[in-house]
């Protein structure tokens, strides 16, 4: 477990009923959180995503890809990613991906403490 993971891994016993089949295959049930600055927001298919840059205490930088549902699905649910501004510092929480530095987004917390939960039914 890398040092920059803020939360200890939790085993989430739930298997989201609305989850994409490949989502369950591509992401573990382990919940992690990562702090980073938003570099890019991609509202597209097959997955909307937010790219953040995380900086470790020693200055090493890594990019994390925080993935969410398909654009078409989010649009039908009335979700946009307009709140996510480039340069904003956030804490992203979600299911750790099987690919390095990836996560399936559950929640973003902004510096002012406000939260963004795009798909509450998946949490």
Partner 1 sequence: MTTRVTPLVIALLLTTSFSVSLISSVSAAPELSGVWLLNLPDSESELFLTAEGQRILNAYDLLNDDPSLACTPASSARIWANPNSLIKIEQFADRVQISYELFDLRREIPLGDASTLTDLPSTRNLDGTYFSEMGSSFAHYEGDHLLIESRNHAPGYIRTSRGIPQSANTIALEDLSVVDGVLHITHTYSDSTLFEQAFVLNYTFYSASETDVSIYNCTDADYDWFNALNAKPEGDSQ
Q: Name the site residues for partner 1 (rule: CB under 8 A).
A: 17-22, 24-26, 42, 44-47, 51, 62-63, 65, 69-70, 72-73, 75-76, 98-102
The nearer residue to partner 1, 23 or 93, going by C-beta atoms, is 23
Cα–Cα distance between 81 and 90 in angstroms, integer? 14
The nearer residue to partner 1, 75 or 111, going by C-beta atoms, is 75
Cα–Cα distance between 74 and 18 in angstroms, integer? 12
Residue indicated by tokens 């891994």: 9
The nearer residue to partner 1, 70 or 109, going by C-beta atoms, is 70
What Rg, from alpha-carbon coordinates, does the chain have? 14
The nearer residue to partner 1, 39 or 115, going by C-beta atoms, is 39
* Contact present, 117 and 123 (Cβ < 8 Å): yes
For the CB of residue 113, give the shortest distance to partner 1 in the complex, in Å: 29
For the CB of residue 98, give the shortest distance to partner 1 in the complex, in Å: 6
For the CB of residue 44, give the shortest distance to partner 1 in the complex, in Å: 5
Give me the half-sphere count of Cα atoms (radius 13 Å) on the Cβ side of residue 44.
5
As given in the structure block, the two tokens for residue 54 are 């995380």
């Amino acid at each position: 477990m890398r040092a920059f993971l803020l939360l200890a891994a939790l085993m989430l016993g739930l298997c989201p009923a609305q989850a994409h089949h490949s989502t369950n295959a591509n992401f573990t049930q382990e919940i992690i959180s990562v702090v980073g600055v938003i570099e890019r927001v991609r509202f597209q298919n097959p997955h909307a995503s937010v790219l953040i840059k995380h900086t470790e205490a020693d200055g090493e930088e890594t990019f994390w890809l925080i993935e969410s549902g398909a654009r078409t699905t989010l649009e039908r649910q009335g979700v946009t990613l307009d709140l996510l501004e480039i340069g904003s510092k956030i804490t992203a929480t979600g299911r750790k991906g099987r690919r390095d530095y990836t996560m399936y987004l559950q929640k973003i917390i902004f510096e002012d403490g406000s939260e963004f939960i795009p798909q509450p039914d998946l949490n």
